[in-house]
A and B are shown apart, each in its own frame.
Chain A
């Protein structure tokens, strides 16, 4: 079974621009979560989607948004990029929202803001 895929793997953007990252979950998984990883703050939860609805949200500004499609694929968008948004963005999928299901992570998208 194919794992979680994320595109693109690397991205360079300029401050003030916006960016869209894509995530395809493991087949059959319906929950998709996004995380940001930086050297200073470590791994931080951004938000989680299930059945095309945002179910949980971390402590990030409104510039960070996401959505989920009917096939469970998800995108996240960051508007008005700041230098501090440079990070590894990770997507994870899980079978369902409730239950002790583990999450499986993708390889991440490395975003550099200049």
Chain B
């Protein structure tokens, strides 16, 4: 089972910041938080990942709380093309456990003009 909890759906106006929350209260010390998104019928797209520090790349920012029990993905200026299902996943990243991702149901983000 997925180890994260996300809202089923969210709406965002084009040009505004989209803040997608994720709860991972049982996260272990060696588990990373990953975010992927899937635009209808395409393969999931990697967005960003982090362990405990906040991370930023050209697509988004990831804010992880100090206790690491929750995180927020921020799309700073949402566009219509950001409409997708967003998945928050936790995964061990420091041993030979492999790279398998356990997907939950994700959050459907709808960006409108």
Which 9 pairs of residues, A with B, have the shortest CB-CB distance?
Answer: A100-B93, A105-B43, A43-B103, A56-B98, A94-B99, A102-B46, A45-B100, A105-B44, A100-B32
Quick one: given A45-B100, A45-B102, A58-B100, are A98 and B41 in contact (CB under 8 Å)?
A: no
Asked whether A48 lies within 8 Å of B46 as measured between CB atoms, the reply is no
Interface SS of A by simple majority: strand
Closest Cβ of chain B: how far from A79's Cβ, in Å? 23
Interface SS of B by simple majority: loop
Closest Cβ of chain B: how far from A98's Cβ, in Å? 5
In this complex, the interface size class of chain A, counting residues with CB under 8 Å from chain B, is 20 to 34
The docked-state distance in angstroms from the alpha carbon of A108 to that of B38 is 12
Closest Cβ of chain B: how far from A51's Cβ, in Å? 11
Give every chain A residue within 8 A of B99 (Cβ-Cβ): 31, 33, 48, 92, 94, 97, 101, 103
Asked whether B93 lies within 8 Å of A103 as measured between CB atoms, the reply is no
Task: Name B21-79 residues within 8 Å CB distance of A.
Answer: 32, 34, 38, 41-46, 49, 51
B113 within 8 A of A: no
B105 within 8 A of A: yes
Closest to A4 in B: B43
The docked-state distance in angstroms from the alpha carbon of A70 to that of B97 is 21
Give every chain A residue within 8 A of B101 (Cβ-Cβ): 33, 35, 43, 45, 92, 103
